[in-house]
């Protein structure tokens, strides 16, 4: 039983919404994408992991950025859409957890601060 592919995505403007002053949205997105990719690799070590995002965009995620999973053909969950929905919900929660636990790192990236300061 194997998940072979995992996709997650986000809109970069949602990461920096509410920040005052000038922010580097691309740096924030790059930082979050790296953290999210690492968390997904840890959770799904046998899967190809893809993290996509759109810069300068806010609002609801388009279908192309919604979580997606693929099971191997020999996985009993392969033909069961409810299993895919459950895994996608788990990915959404992981994305939220990574965001909540990484607010400082994302804020530092958005404001141009490095870890060496």
pTM of the model: 0.85
Number of CB atoms found within 10 A of residue 1's CB: 9
**Model pLDDT, residue 77:** 63
Selection from 11-15, 78-82, 113-117 with the highest mean pLDDT = 11-15
Lowest mean pLDDT: which of 5-19, 35-49, 71-85, 90-104? 71-85
Residue pLDDT, tens place only, 22-61 = 889 999 999 999 999 999 999 999 999 999 999 999 999 9
- Phi and psi at 48, nearest 5°, equal -75, 130
74 DSSP 8-state letter: T
């Amino acid at each position: 039983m194997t998940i072979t592919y995992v996709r997650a995505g986000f809109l970069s403007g949602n990461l920096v919404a509410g920040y005052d002053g000038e922010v580097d949205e691309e740096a924030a997105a790059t930082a979050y994408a790296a953290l999210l990719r690492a968390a997904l690799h840890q959770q799904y070590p046998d899967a190809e992991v893809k993290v996509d995002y759109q810069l300068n965009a806010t609002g609801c995620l388009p279908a192309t950025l919604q979580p997606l999973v693929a099971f191997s053909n020999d996985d009993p969950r392969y033909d069961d859409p409810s299993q895919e929905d459950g895994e996608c919900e788990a990915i959404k929660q992981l994305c939220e957890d990574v965001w909540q636990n990484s607010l400082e790192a994302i804020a530092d990236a958005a404001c141009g601060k490095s870890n060496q300061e």
